Amino acid sequence: MHIDYDIVVVGGGPAGCAVARDVAAAGFRVLVAEEHTEVGEPLQCSGLISARTLDLSRVSPGVVRRPLRGARVHAPGGQTLDLTGKRVYALAVDRVAFDRDLAAQASAAGAELRTGSRVDSLEYVPGGVSLRLSGREVRSRLVVGADGHNSLVARWLGLPAAPERVPLFAAEVELPGRDDHVVDLFVGRSVAPGWFGWVIPTGDGTARVGAGSLPGGGAPRPRRLFELLREMYPGIFQGLRIVKMTGGVVPVGLRGRTYGDRALLVGDAACHVKPISGGGLYLGLKAAAICAGAATAALAADDCSGAFLSRYQRAWESAIGPEIRCGLHHREVFLGMGDREMDGIISFFNNSYWRKLILKYGDLDHHSVIADRLALAPPWAQRFMYGGLKTLLTGRGSASL
């Protein structure tokens, strides 16, 4: 039976294009099926990355719009924890240009990219998988689902949805007078229950802003939460004009299986996301390299069975699983806090010793580095002890996320 491609990557985001680039570079026939008419649109990411992530992506430094030197954390009671340092902690990038650079890398390596090509269905056929792409059939030996939190490939494999999905409202805005190099973060039940709000300056009086919250529980929708945020902090948002609105969903959790017969999941589809911040580019690109290695090995061995592909699960869990597990543990502690407790913890850390420690060990990609040190602080340690006792009494733990 005729097979059109060695691998079809469903989704033309960064993780999908990185997989396509590496597999095509190994000499295999690769198709990237992207449902939107243009790569990178609609924008569904804050575009905040580390220099390490930029290097990992191989994307041109020309996508950087603003180097960022720290953050201000606004507590529910009005106190501000200023974590501004001298070094660059993060980069605000042109996310559309970032995505398109990775897509160009995939194309240059030999992958075929089809935009406006939605996968409607998948089914097994002898020797591969049949995919309906906007009404047209293509056949592939292997499929990689890089198709986001609501992954069709994951559903086709019979896998459950992400354990937790956090809806977000975000916008690109004009914000006169906001040309510094510091991110503003807002926490509290009234502003972003179960998540946080943000302002990321992008230079020339522009910024990216947004808010997220856990669904259910009677909380307002993220767009309404952002409006409440503007009302609570008029000085920060004075003169704001929304240029473009967007949104998205952050999948949070640890997937027990990201493979099946002739299929792999990567990126948001596999919950390769930092549970504390929701950032997915660093973990997604790390997993993409592992995914590409597993895919090329399977294709070379002509063995795309679930048993053979299971090595991918073990490999990415070894590489990035500890970071996700640590994030889930700390997120569980965060979810148990009320506004008064958040105020108390931010007040505790608001002195020169803790600020210097946070600035020294803060790492956008490895939250576990600073989290392990902050866990020794009495307020946080008490929370961990309470969480451990709760786990023993109820049998619930971070694995439930």
* Phi–psi pair at 381, nearest 5 degrees: -60, -40
pLDDT attached to residue 370: 85
The answer to whether residues 66 and 46 touch, using CB atoms and an 8 Å cutoff, is no
- In angstroms, the CA 399 to CA 401 distance is 5
pLDDT attached to residue 336: 86
Q: Start-end ranges of CATH 3.30.9.10 in the chain?
A: 66-91+165-251
Fold category of 5-45+95-163+252-321 in CATH: FAD/NAD(P)-binding domain (3.50.50)
pLDDT attached to residue 45: 75
pLDDT attached to residue 97: 96
The answer to whether residues 75 and 81 touch, using CB atoms and an 8 Å cutoff, is yes
Residue spans of beta strands (DSSP E) within 50-182: 64-68, 70-74, 80-84, 90-93, 112-115, 119-125, 128-133, 136-145, 164-174
pLDDT tens digits in sequence order for the chain, 401 residues long: 689 999 999 999 999 999 999 999 999 999 999 999 999 887 777 889 999 999 999 999 999 999 999 999 999 999 999 999 999 999 999 999 999 999 999 999 999 999 999 999 999 999 999 999 988 999 999 999 999 999 999 999 999 999 899 999 999 999 997 878 999 999 999 889 999 999 999 999 999 999 999 877 677 889 999 999 999 999 999 999 999 998 889 999 999 999 999 999 999 999 999 999 999 999 999 999 999 999 999 999 999 999 999 999 999 999 999 999 999 988 988 888 899 999 998 999 999 999 999 999 999 999 888 887 777 777 666 665 454 444 433 444 433 22
Q: Tally the C-alpha atoms within 13 A of residue 72's C-alpha that lie toward its C-beta.
A: 12
* Phi–psi pair at 96, nearest 5 degrees: -65, -45
Beta bridge partners of 49: 91
pLDDT attached to residue 215: 79
- On the 0-12 / 13-18 / 19+ scale of CB atoms within 10 A, 112 is middle
- In angstroms, the CA 355 to CA 352 distance is 5
CATH of region 66-91+165-251: 3.30.9.10
The answer to whether residues 267 and 250 touch, using CB atoms and an 8 Å cutoff, is no
Q: Start-end ranges of CATH 3.50.50.60 in the chain?
A: 5-45+95-163+252-321
- In angstroms, the CA 178 to CA 203 distance is 8
pLDDT attached to residue 397: 41
Give, for 265, the enclosing helix (H) or strand (E).
Answer: strand 263-265
Residue in 305, 324, 302, 320 with CA at minimum distance from that of residue 264: 305
Q: Tally the C-alpha atoms within 13 A of residue 382's C-alpha that lie toward its C-beta.
A: 6
CB atoms inside a 10 Å sphere around CB 56:
19
pLDDT attached to residue 1: 63
User: The tokens 């890398």 sit on which residue?
Assistant: 105
Q: Do you find a cis peptide bond into 167, omega within 30 degrees of 0? A: no
Cα–Cα separations (whole angstroms), residue 368 to 181, 192, 331: 24, 23, 12
Residue in 363, 375, 356 with CA at minimum distance from that of residue 90: 363
